């Protein structure tokens, strides 16, 4: 069972994030394409969650008092599978099946996969479910918390703001939303498609305790989580500014990074760049 009993070991969390990035490249190389930038960009958050913050039991995934990590952006599954494998929830070898017909590791994460709490991917619906879970847990008298990961693109959807309003109305301080601001969506930058800034001010205006940090800095994420937990009575928004493709300059520098096709030679470059960047 994973519980936070001592001060977080930031160096160990960074090492986990690095290993998870290796897993992301491994899975994506087998498929030859995909949501590589998202998996690399969100590894620091997932390492903090699975190796410091979340209370869960790999031997009893349906433990009623577990914290729920809910992935609204189902297409970020590649990053979540890397974390679940590192955390011992799914076998490491199963990562080889990512995206294959019949695999449990579909390109968009379904709740039938061990460790996946909800079927994401129909964007704009994850936070609504997380609000319901947080409310239900409170009604049941449980201290478990719900952490929802959503994207900057989802902040253009009305249902996200209905959920934000409901979370604040019900004073759900057991609810945490991470907003991954990687400045990309399917058709380019949100500022070009439909601007969302100042996004932290919007969450604050909806009644959430809000912070904005570098989402590729585990120490900054840990600091924000500590501050959030010290602020009762409101749900918590932590806006994460992240870099898509983080750790692999070849992918960091792509102009459109939402879904990439990668040539066989580029995988060799990507793997060596990841090790050099460590
Ligand atoms: C309701 C809904 N509309 C459209 C899509 C198609 N779609 C899949 S990913 C994506 C981009 C969403 O933006 P964001 O999550 O910010 O993109 P990323 O950071 O991954 O580039 C879209 C439009 C979807 N999955 N669900």
- Cross-strand pairs, 176: 147, 236
Which pLDDT belongs to residue 7? 86
Question: Which ranges in 63-206 belong to alpha helices (H)?
Answer: 77-86, 126-139, 158-169, 190-193, 199-205
Q: How far is the CA of 8 from the centre of ligand 1 (A)?
A: 33
The Cα–Cα gap between 38 and 43 comes to: 9
Q: How many CB atoms lie within 10 A of CB 260?
A: 18
User: What is the mean pLDDT of the segment spanning 189-211?
Assistant: 97
Which pLDDT belongs to residue 1? 58
Domain 10-277 has CATH 3.40.50.970: yes
DSSP state of 50: I
Contact between 89 and 59 under an 8 Å Cβ cutoff? The reply is no
| Lowest-confidence segment of 81-85, 149-153, 250-254 by average pLDDT | 250-254
Say yes or no: CB of residue 122 within 6 Å of ligand 1: yes
| Lowest-confidence segment of 64-68, 74-78, 239-243, 256-260 by average pLDDT | 256-260
Contact between 80 and 46 under an 8 Å Cβ cutoff? The reply is yes
Residue 248 pLDDT grade (very low, low, confident, very high; cuts 50, 70, 90): very high
Any residues with CB less than 8 A from the CB of 264 and at least 6 apart, and which? none
Atom in ligand 1 nearest the alpha carbon of residue 184: 21
Q: Which of 68, 65, 57 is nearest to 141 (CA)?
A: 65
Q: How far is the CA of 119 from the centre of ligand 1 (A)?
A: 14
Residue 253 pLDDT grade (very low, low, confident, very high; cuts 50, 70, 90): confident
Say yes or no: CB of residue 153 within 6 Å of ligand 1: yes
User: Is residue 4's pLDDT more than 60?
Assistant: no
Read off the pLDDT of residues 64-111 as tens digits, 9 standing for 90 and up.
Answer: 999 999 999 999 999 999 999 999 999 999 999 999 999 999 999 999
User: What is the mean pLDDT of the segment spanning 12-31?
Assistant: 97
Atom in ligand 1 nearest the alpha carbon of residue 186: 11
Which pLDDT belongs to residue 3? 52
Say yes or no: CB of residue 119 within 6 Å of ligand 1: no
Atom in ligand 1 nearest the alpha carbon of residue 76: 20
Read off the pLDDT of residues 160-174 as tens digits, 9 standing for 90 and up.
Answer: 999 999 999 999 999
Mean pLDDT for all residues in the chain: 96
Residue 278 pLDDT grade (very low, low, confident, very high; cuts 50, 70, 90): confident
Read off the pLDDT of residues 111-146 as tens digits, 9 standing for 90 and up.
Answer: 999 999 999 999 999 999 999 999 999 999 999 999
Q: How far is the CA of 185 from the centre of ligand 1 (A)?
A: 6
User: Is residue 6's pLDDT more than 80?
Assistant: no
Nearest CA to ligand 1 atom 4: 123
Contact between 217 and 44 under an 8 Å Cβ cutoff? The reply is yes
């Amino acid at each position: 069972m994973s519980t936070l009993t001592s001060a977080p070991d930031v160096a160990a969390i960074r090492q986990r994030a690095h290993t998870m990035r290796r897993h992301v490249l491994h899975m994506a190389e087998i498929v030859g394409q995909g949501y590589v930038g998202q998996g690399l960009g969100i590894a620091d958050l997932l390492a903090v969650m699975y190796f410091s913050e979340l209370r869960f039991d790999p031997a009893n995934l349906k433990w009623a008092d577990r914290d729920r990590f809910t992935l609204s952006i189902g297409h970020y599954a590649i990053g979540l599978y890397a974390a679940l494998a590192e955390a011992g929830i799914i076998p490491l070898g199963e990562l080889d099946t990512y995206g294959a017909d019949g695999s449990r590791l579909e390109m968009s994460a379904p709740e039938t996969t061990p460790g996946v709490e909800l079927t994401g991917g129909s964007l704009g619906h994850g936070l609504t479910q997380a609000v319901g879970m947080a409310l239900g847990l409170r009604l049941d008298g449980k201290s478990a918390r719900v952490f929802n990961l959503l994207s900057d693109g989802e902040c253009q959807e009305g249902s996200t703001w209905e959920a934000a309003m409901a979370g604040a109305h019900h004073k759900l301080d057991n609810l945490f939303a991470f907003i991954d601001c990687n400045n990309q969506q399917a058709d380019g930058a949100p500022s070009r498609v439909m601007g969302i800034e100042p996004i932290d001010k919007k969450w604050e205006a909806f009644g959430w305790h809000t912070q904005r940090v570098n989402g590729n800095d585990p120490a900054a994420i840990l600091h924000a989580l500590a501050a959030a937990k010290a602020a009762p009575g409101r749900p918590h928004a932590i806006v994460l500014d992240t870099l898509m493709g983080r750790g692999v300059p070849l992918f960091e520098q792509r102009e459109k990074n939402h879904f990439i096709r990668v040539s066989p030679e580029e995988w060799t470059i990507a793997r060596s760049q990841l090790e050099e960047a460590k």
